[in-house]
Structure 1
Amino acid sequence: MNISENLDKILGQIPSSVRLVAVTKKKSVAAIEEAYNYGIRDFAESRVQEALEKQEQLQNYQDICWHFIGHIQTNKAKQVLKNFHWIHSVDSLKLAKYLDKLADKNSISPHVCLQVKILHDPNKYGWKVEEIWQDLSKLESLKYIKIDGLMTILPLGLSQNECLDTFAKTKELASKITEKSSLQLKELSMGMSNDYLLAVEKGATMIRLGTIIFGERN
């Protein structure tokens, strides 16, 4: 698997304004270094312990921007807050409030995306559309985390048209929230290895790619 060739191909397909976040879960430090040497600076992990071990080995790479994309358990929230610049997977009001409290205590102000479920999906965390509207005023009152956008993961088995429609609805939701509240949701974290071109077509500003860069996980 040639990481540089894969990155060449992907970056040739997307606008330079779209941020490519390389998902390195279960990938080696050597693979991260190869992507880094190519020019990638955004890397994502979904397990705290694995991420911390890699960060320890990569501490000389000061300009890496670390993204957390996994479900956050309360007992791991402080570690996520302290070790990641971006948190894409803020999936409940309870978690958002807790992170805000920790951010205040630790004088850290991370960028976060609110994880939403446009379609019903029992296998995913996140707000349903009606729930995010119910919680909006409470989210607006948070002072220390920077709520910059929405993140979504599509249910499995959608057709191409269903994917496009769901990405479009995510963008529409972000625009409506920005219009009707004090939150400025400029970022759309959507699109993975199998659907990133569809996500980009519908306005993704960040795409989270693992397999298509690094090959299948071991």
Structure 2
Amino acid sequence: MTPQLADNYMVTIAERLTCAYARISNAAKNTHRSKNEITLLAVSKTKPSDDIVAAYNYGQRQFGESYVQEAVDKIAQLHTYSDIIWHFIGPIQSNKSALVAENFDWVQSVDRIKIAKRLNAQRPTSKPPLNVLIQVNISAEEAKSGCHPDDIANLAEFISQCDQLRLRGLMAIPAKSDDPTTQTQYFEQLQTCFDKLKAQYPQLDTLSMGMSNDVEAAISAGSTMVRIGTDIFGTRT
């Protein structure tokens, strides 16, 4: 890649990040919230390390990945960018849990005690506790990961007792819909679950919900972290 092309490439991602932050700011303003309450997680799955560096050079520090081996390779390639905060947001297979525990700062997709137990046992004691979000299948889709809302309490209790895990909140990926009313309905259900859990665990501070197509509805319902990929890095291959 020539220097000129590299500059143009970086400007494109910078412009998209600018738009994403503006969108978050406007959505927060429209619901009388501070934009500072909402974290942008740039979802970089399937995208090359060069894209992450371009976003990093613009100031982005938090990145989300869904495929374990691809993500571990990127983390190794970018090890000199020591202030990147890596989030794993995909389904966790038992045979890949050690790689997740060893390499990530956050895991947003813990949905059963078996996985929480493995992550706790496999998290290196030389690292800080792994930040954990419980993934909730809020729209009750059979093919989607996430625990049932009724199972949140038991899973949260287990995680809270794990020395190498730190419970931070909830995450969900509701059924895709272009209807703002439907979007808001799902997000409000998750917000209710979060409020109930926070009453028992006051330290909880993260409600991860909202993606490129439903940021506004998520923020209006109380999201503190939105996961945006396509609007920053373009369509995935």
TM surpasses 0.5:
yes
Aligned counterparts, 1:87-126, within 5 A: 87-103=107-123, 108-126=128-146
Q: Which runs of 5+ in 2 are unaligned?
A: 1-8, 25-34
- State the alpha-carbon separation in 2 of the partners of residues 24 and 31 from structure 1: 8
User: Alpha-carbon deviations, 1:70-96, whole Å to 9, x = none?
Assistant: 111111111111111010011112211
1:141 pairs, out of 161, 164, 172, with 161
Q: Which runs of 5+ in 1 are unaligned?
A: none
C-alpha spacing 1:84/1:106, structure 2 compared with 1 (3 Å):
same
Cα distance change on mapping 1:13 and 1:71 into 2, 3 Å: same
2:171–2:207 contact (8 Å) kept in structure 1: yes
| TM-score, normalisation: structure 1 | 0.92
1:184 corresponds to 2:194: no
**C-alpha distance 183-104 of structure 1, shift in aligned 2 (>3 A):** farther
* RMSD (Å), alpha carbons: 1.9
Partner in structure 1 of residue 101 of structure 2: 81
- Percent identity between matched residues is 38
2:219 paired residue number: 200
Alpha-carbon shift at residue 45 of structure 1 (Å): 0.8
Aligned residues: 217
The 5 Å alignment of 1:1-218 reads 2-14=12-24, 15-103=35-123, 108-157=128-177, 159-179=179-199, 181-182=200-201, 184-218=203-237
In 2, the alpha carbon distance for the partners of 1:20 and 1:107 equals: 24
In the superposition, the TM-score normalised over structure 2's length comes to 0.85
SS at match of 2:37: coil
Kindly indicate whether the alpha-carbon contact (under 8 Å) linking 1:140 and 1:183 is maintained by their aligned counterparts in 2: no
Following TM superposition, by how much is the alpha carbon of 1:43 offset from its aligned partner in structure 2, in angstroms? Answer: 0.8
Q: How far apart in 2 are the matches of 1:22 and 1:107? A: 23
- SS of aligned partner of 1:13: helix
Farther off after superposition, 21-30 or 94-103: 94-103
1:105 Cα deviation from its structure 2 partner = 6.0
- The answer to whether the Cα contact below 8 Å between 2:178 and 2:213 also exists between their aligned partners in 1 is no
Query: How far does residue 114 in structure 1 lie from its aligned partner after superposition?
Result: 0.2
How far does the alpha carbon of each residue in 1:90-143 deviate from its partner, in whole angstroms, 9 at most, with x for none?
Answer: 111221122222237666411010000122111211111112235454344333
- Determine helix, strand or coil for the equivalent of 1:22: strand
